[in-house]
Amino acid sequence: MSLTLEQFGIDRLSPEERCALIDLLWDSLPPETLLFPPAGFVSELERRIAAADADPGAAEPWQVVLTRLRGDR
């Protein structure tokens, strides 16, 4: 059986409520739960690491990124 968003009413939640639900679900997992990222995530991370290693000068300092994300000018 495949679960759906509609089945649980999740499709009617706002983005903020969905994020709160994610937090609740995550916090409900037992600490000893072993979690593994999907293979696609691992290969994308490896691709990004290789790209960063190939051109380290393309990176931005974290403070610059944080300032941009906050909208500080």
At 27-49, the pLDDT tens digits run: 999 999 999 999 999 999 999 99
Closest-CA residue to 5 (of 21, 16, 23):
21
Burial of 13 (0-12, 13-18, 19+ CB in 10 A): middle
Domain of residue 51 covers 5-70
Q: How many distinct structural domains can be found in the chain?
A: 1
Give the angle subtended at the CA of 29 by the CAs of 46 and 8, to the nearest 5°: 100
pLDDT above 70 as % of the chain: 97
pTM as predicted: 0.52
List the structure tokens of 54.
Answer: 């190939």
Would you place residue 69 in the very low, low, confident or very high pLDDT band (cuts 50, 70, 90)? very high
